[in-house]
Amino acid sequence: MHLPASRGIVPELLVRASSPSTNAELVGLARDGGLESFTTLVTEDQTAGRGRLDRSWSTPPGSALAVSVLISPQTPSGPLAPERYGWLPIAAGIAATRALRAVLPAASVAFKWPNDVLVGGRKLCGVLAELLPARGAVVIGAGINLAMTPEQLPVPTATSVAVEGGDPDPDTILAGYLTSLRELVEGYLATGGDAERSGLAPLARTLCASLDREVRVELPDGGVIEGRATGLDVDGHLIVDDARGRRHVVAAGDVTHARLEGPE
pLDDT-based confidence at residue 51 (cuts at 50, 70, 90):
low
Question: pLDDT tens digits, residue range 66-79?
Answer: 999 999 999 999 99
pLDDT, position 56: 54
Domain contains 245: yes
Say if CB 248 and CB 227 are below 8 A apart: yes
Same-domain check for residues 131 and 43: yes
Same-domain check for residues 203 and 223: no
Angle between helical axes of 170-190 and 200-207 (0-180°, round to 10):
140
pLDDT higher at 258 or 69: 69
Average pLDDT estimate for 110-127: 94
Same-domain check for residues 235 and 220: yes
User: Which residues share a beta bridge with 229?
Assistant: 213, 240
Q: How many CB atoms lie within 10 A of CB 65?
A: 26
pLDDT, position 260: 46
CATH of the domain at 236: 2.30.30.100
pLDDT, position 47: 87
Same-domain check for residues 166 and 236: no
The pTM for the full model equals 0.93
Same-domain check for residues 230 and 115: no
Domain contains 264: no
For the CA atoms of 38, 44, 49, 51, the dihedral, rounded to the nearest 10 degrees, stands at 70
Average pLDDT estimate for 197-217: 97
pLDDT, position 60: 80
For residue 162, what are the domain limits?
Answer: 4-207
DSSP state of 245: S
Q: Does the N-terminal peptide bond of residue 114 adopt cis geometry, omega within 30 degrees of 0?
A: yes
CATH of the domain at 51: 3.30.930.10
Domain total for the chain?
2
Same-domain check for residues 126 and 236: no
Q: What distance in Å separates the CA atoms of residue 129 and residue 195, rounded to the nearest whole number?
A: 18
- pLDDT higher than 90, residue 9: yes
- pLDDT higher than 50, residue 262: no
Question: pLDDT tens digits, residue range 99-108?
Answer: 999 999 999 9
- pLDDT higher than 70, residue 54: no
SS3 136: coil
Report which secondary-structure segment, H or E, holds 256.
strand 254-257
Question: pLDDT tens digits, residue range 121-179?
Answer: 899 999 999 999 989 999 999 999 999 999 989 888 999 999 999 999 999 999 999 99
Q: Provide the mean pLDDT of the chain.
A: 92
Angle at 59 between CA 93 and CA 67, to 5 degrees: 40
Instruction: Give me the sheet containing 40-43, strands edge to edge.
Output: 13-16, 40-43, 64-71, 137-145, 122-132, 116-119, 109-112
Average pLDDT estimate for 54-75: 84
What is the separation, in whole angstroms, between the first and last Cα of the chain? 32
Average pLDDT estimate for 25-49: 91
Same-domain check for residues 20 and 61: yes
Q: Where are the alpha helices (DSSP H) in the chain?
A: 4-7, 22-31, 87-103, 170-190, 195-198, 200-207
DSSP state of 82: G
Say if CB 58 and CB 48 are below 8 A apart: yes
pLDDT-based confidence at residue 87 (cuts at 50, 70, 90):
very high
